[in-house]
Structure 1
Amino acid sequence: MQWGQIKVLFILSFLVLDIFLLNQFMEKQQASELGPIATANSEDFEDELENNNITVSWDNIPSEVPSVPQTISSGSEFSEGILSQIEELREGDEQTVAVQNNSVLKGKLNEPIEVTEDNVVEQVNRVVPFSNQYEYWNWNKEEGVILFFQKKNDRTIFYNSGGFLMLQVADGKITSYIATLISFSDGEEQASSSGTKDPQLIQPSKVIQRLMDEEHLVSGDEVTNMTVGYYNSINLVPGEENGPQVFAPTWKVTVNGEKILFVYAITGAIIDEEESAFIEKINSSFNLSVNNTPAPLVDNEKSNEETEGTEETEETNNGVSNE
């Protein structure tokens, strides 16, 4: 390896370390602002739940807070193994596929596949060969899409445009889909791999207390489930959403069996995220319609050839016109 390449690697490594340390400092600062949460005792908490008419299904909530490290990605791009699986799809006759920038896969089924609530995962496995990289999230029948989110360390990465699988459904049949995958490189995988301890996560009771204080939980609500996943906490390259990211452990709080709330498990900050807004963002960013009329799937190389041909035609026409 040339010295110039080694120097660049060292610079990037130190940049990532500096940003991580800054992020840790900011998180500790934010955590210090959670005074009421940190000092609440169990008896006062139970009294407040009763006073606010809020119940908690403790059987569906971890009795011990898991140890979940922060995680750093190296970008959003398909590996060689995934690309070879995509190439096999291209050679078949069941669907038309196109890959953009080695990071976005668009597929259109030549014969739509019927899907039900009971067999959604099984049917998606038939359509996307690497679907085991994702966790089933929801079938949004109003929008006509099925959502899967990428997994990391068997934990869901919530609402990230770099790691999702979204399938269009029309008349109960899968018609097309779009997929991206976040990549994790050796040495960059764990943000706490430098020998520091994994960050201590906020207890479920304190998360619930936080949600009550901010009036995200109201009288009559029941906290039915809580799990820990990941949510983006910082983009290492400003303005580059699909570049390297730091993912922080995040509590997913299910209320009344359907409403989902997210809370950073280190700082206690509440995350504002709506499924409909995410679907709209994906549709806008990746040019995929959610109105049962999929956008045309165009391969990069073919698109470039067509563009060049169009430019040559325009130049010819201009020349004739000028004459």
Structure 2
Amino acid sequence: MQWNQLKTLFILCFLVLDVYLLILFFNQQQESESTKTAPTAELSIEERMQEEKIEIKTDLPDEEIEESYITVKQKRFSEEEKELLMKKENLESAVAAKDLIVSRYEDPVPIPKDASKETINGLLKDTFLLPENYEYWDWNEEMNVLVFFQKKSGRPIYYNHNGIILVFLNDDNEAIFYTQTMLGDAVSSENEQSEIKPMLAIQQLLNDNRLESGDEITGINLGYYTFYPLPSGEQVFAPTWTITVNEEKNFYVNAMETLVIPSDELGFLTETAADIMNKVQTLEENTKLETFVINHLSEKLTTINRSETE
């Protein structure tokens, strides 16, 4: 009886040992297979782009770039700046709510349809207040408006209501008036500096399936995008890569957190136009200018809303 019990015990021990060895064997085999396949499964960004036939047709920054968030508050125009504005020729100007310049061209300025960035700057920048703080960015054909972004540290601030010049054109592509807002001095978060690399932004576009096979990356620029507003009225801006694809579409990637920022240029412009209309209505000294601007913007917004509903 005892011998039978011992035999049974030995058999059970051997079965447990066999199961353990079998599990150990399978685990080792799986680890070996995963080790063999890992290098091919995780392709580098360059290999992924080569597979998708995506090419970079512009120069990447050579040096290491360290940037930080900046904090900026909207500027209110001083009496001296207003006087400087009023001295400019071919302009009828006013300041609404102390932070919005509205200037009508007494003689509209023709803008050639194929005008280069340099040509547009040459035709218009001298009519702006403190023009060295802005750079031409885009001609939005839906609103028929020229967009100039304000710069901080030599870099553009993308699509912010408080730091932008919009030059509105008539149906003959003549500049008829512009509006201007401006941000004040920037304060950097020196303790939050990080090294930012453009290839990480391109990689994020690949991960998010924003790039298609055969695409060409034709521009890479660094600027700032609104991160969040503060209760004090200041705004925090994050360093942001602009990746231009096929010379026509821009993607904005937060360079600090490598996140793609949703952008809607037409939506931004229509919202800004509505805000301009509200502020222009506060003008007390120049009702003709107020009526002219409001009528143009109202007609433009009505046309866009109608086209979106059809």
When the two structures are superposed, what TM-score results if normalisation uses the length of structure 1?
Answer: 0.69
2:26: which partner in 1? Answer: none
Aligned residue number for residue 279 of structure 1: 269
Which residue in the other structure is 1:250 paired with? 240
Q: Percent identity?
A: 27
Q: Distance in 2 between matches of 1:264 and 1:64?
A: 19
Return the index of the structure with the highest Cα Rg: 2
Verify the 8 A CA contact 1:98 1:298 in the aligned structure 2: no
User: What secondary structure, in the 3-state scheme, does the structure 2 residue paired with 1:226 have?
Assistant: strand
1:299 partner SS: coil
What is the CA deviation profile of residues 212-250 of structure 1, one whole-angstrom value per residue up to 9, with x for unaligned ones?
A: 110111111111121110111110128xxxx31111111
Q: Is the 8 A contact 1:61 1:227 kept in 2?
A: no
Q: Deviations over 1:145-176 (max 9, x none)?
A: 11100001110000000000001112121101
Contact map agreement 1:191 1:246 (CA 8 A) in 2: no
Secondary structure of the structure 1 residue equivalent to 2:224: strand
Identify if the C-alpha distance between structure 1 residues 81 and 234 changes in structure 2 by more than 3 Å, giving closer, same or farther. farther
Opposite residue 287 of structure 1, the aligned amino acid is: M
Q: Does residue 150 of structure 1 match 2:150?
A: yes
Displacement of 1:87 after TM fit? 3.4
Q: Quickly say closer, same or farther: Cα 1:43–1:74, change in 2 above 3 A.
A: same
* Structure 1 residues 146 and 300, CA gap change in structure 2 (3 angstroms): same
1:265 aligned to 250, 255, 268, which one? Answer: 255
Residue 81 to residue 66, structure 1, CA distance change in 2 (3 Å): farther
Q: Distance in 1 between matches of 2:220 and 2:82?
A: 35
- Cα distance in 2, alignment partners of residues 113 and 298 from structure 1: 27
User: Which secondary structure does the structure 2 equivalent of 1:248 belong to?
Assistant: strand
Q: Do structure 1's residue 99 and structure 2's residue 95 form an aligned pair?
A: yes
Corresponding residue number in structure 2 for 1:309: none
SS in 1 for 2:241: strand
Is 1:181 matched up with 2:179?
A: no
Q: 1:54: how far off? A: 1.5
Distance 1:209 1:197 in 2: 23
Q: Could you tell me which residue of structure 2 aligns to residue 225 of structure 1?
A: 219
More contact order relative to length (CA 8 Å, sep ≥ 6): 1
The one-letter code matched in structure 2 to 1:95 is L
Gaps of 5+ in 1: 1-41, 289-294, 304-323
Higher strand share: 2
CA RMSD of aligned residues (A): 2.6
Q: 2 CA distance for matches of 1:109 and 1:209?
A: 45
Q: Secondary structure at the match of 2:138?
A: strand
> What 5-or-longer segments of structure 2 have no aligned partner?
1-41, 288-310
Name the amino acid aligned to 1:169: L
